[in-house]
Amino acid sequence: MGIRQFKPVTKSSRFRSVPDNDVVTRSTPEKSLLEPVKRTGGRDNHGHISMRRLGGGHKRMYRVIDFKRNKFGVPATVREIEYDPNRSARIALVEYADGEKRYILHAKGLVQGDQVVSGPGSDVRTGNALPLKEMPLGTAVHNVELVRGKGGQVARSAGTSVQVVAKEGDYVTLRMQSTEMRMVHGECLATVGEVGNSEHELLSWGKAGRMRWEGRRPRVRGEVMNPVDHPHGGRTRGGRNVVSPWGKKEGVKTRNKKKPSQRLIVRGRKRGKASK
């Protein structure tokens, strides 16, 4: 996957870049795996804005992704690799031996014609899904379950992966890309390899209109509003901390330490300036 630059024939094309999609094999999705997406424009059931800065954007259909990979022992062949407008990663259309088709996240290095399989006892090979307890130490995995049978929740965006670093009892310790260490039950499934399209973070949108295509509306700073509209409004913020329009502090920790799942965090990610 590479990045394509534009000739600077306009101001907006000078910095704009798009993926070249060299791994994508077809542009039309599998109709049987499509679902409509309801667009709310950030409004609730009363018609009031409950989430700001949303609206517009290109129409899109949702591709049903198999995050659970629960068809054990049945080999599947990668038929197509497609673009998905709902996520940064590419998706792969796989066809099982019994004829069923499903979408899975495209792993880096997975090409048309490759065989993938899921379930205990599977080979540790790119695209295969198996329990974490069967992964060798040092293996890079993605689409990791946090609850057995719930489906992958961690490392699903383009270019992401987590590393298996230790095993102790029923739990496996994973190193996130944020350097956070988390313990996950060994029975939870994960897919071998790194999510493809790692160049996604290097793209430059180049113009405001491209953000509107995504359905994102402009964000106005509080400092340029009037005092009646925002605590930061007026001639100066007055040296106060950054707050929301409703006076709540922003940039503070929001993780609930009493939540049961937080007990499995071995070491939190680094925050603030690095100590010398």
C-alpha distances in angstroms, 206 versus 8, 20, 58, 198? 11, 16, 18, 19
Task: Collapse the DSSP code of 154 into the 3-class scheme (helix H, G, I; strand E, B; otherwise coil) and give the result.
Answer: strand
222/200 Cα distance (integer angstroms) = 30
The confidence score (pLDDT) of residue 1 equals: 65
187/197 Cα distance (integer angstroms) = 28
Q: Does residue 263 have a pLDDT over 90?
A: no
The confidence score (pLDDT) of residue 154 equals: 96
Chain segment 21-61, per-residue pLDDT in tens = 899 999 999 999 999 999 999 999 999 999 999 999 999 99
The confidence score (pLDDT) of residue 170 equals: 94
Contact between 150 and 184 (Cβ < 8 Å): no
Of 61-75, 81-95, 182-196, 251-265, the range with the lowest mean pLDDT is: 251-265
List of E strands, the chain: 3-5, 17-19, 34-36, 61-63, 76-82, 91-96, 101-105, 115-116, 129-131, 140-142, 144-145, 152-154, 162-168, 171-175, 181-185, 189-192, 265-267
β-strands 34-36, 61-63 pairing: antiparallel
Chain segment 201-257, per-residue pLDDT in tens = 999 999 999 999 999 999 999 999 999 999 999 887 777 889 999 999 998 888 888
Contacts for 27 with CB less than 8 Å, ≥ 6 apart = 82, 83
119 against 261, higher pLDDT: 119
Pick the CATH number of 3-201 from 3.30.1340.10, 2.40.50.100, 2.40.50.140, 3.40.605.10: 2.40.50.140
The confidence score (pLDDT) of residue 259 equals: 84
The confidence score (pLDDT) of residue 131 equals: 97
Q: Does residue 65 have a pLDDT over 80?
A: yes
Contact between 126 and 107 (Cβ < 8 Å): yes
The confidence score (pLDDT) of residue 173 equals: 96
Mean of the per-residue pLDDT values of the chain: 92
Q: Does residue 275 have a pLDDT over 70?
A: no
Q: Does residue 274 have a pLDDT over 70?
A: no
pTM over 0.85: yes
- Over range 71-94, report the average pLDDT: 96
Q: Does residue 97 have a pLDDT over 80?
A: yes
The confidence score (pLDDT) of residue 24 equals: 94
Question: In which band, very low, low, confident or very high, does the pLDDT at 272 lie, cut at 50, 70 and 90?
Answer: low
Chain segment 115-131, per-residue pLDDT in tens = 999 999 999 999 999 99
Contacts for 198 with CB less than 8 Å, ≥ 6 apart = 1, 108, 158, 159
- Over range 157-171, report the average pLDDT: 95
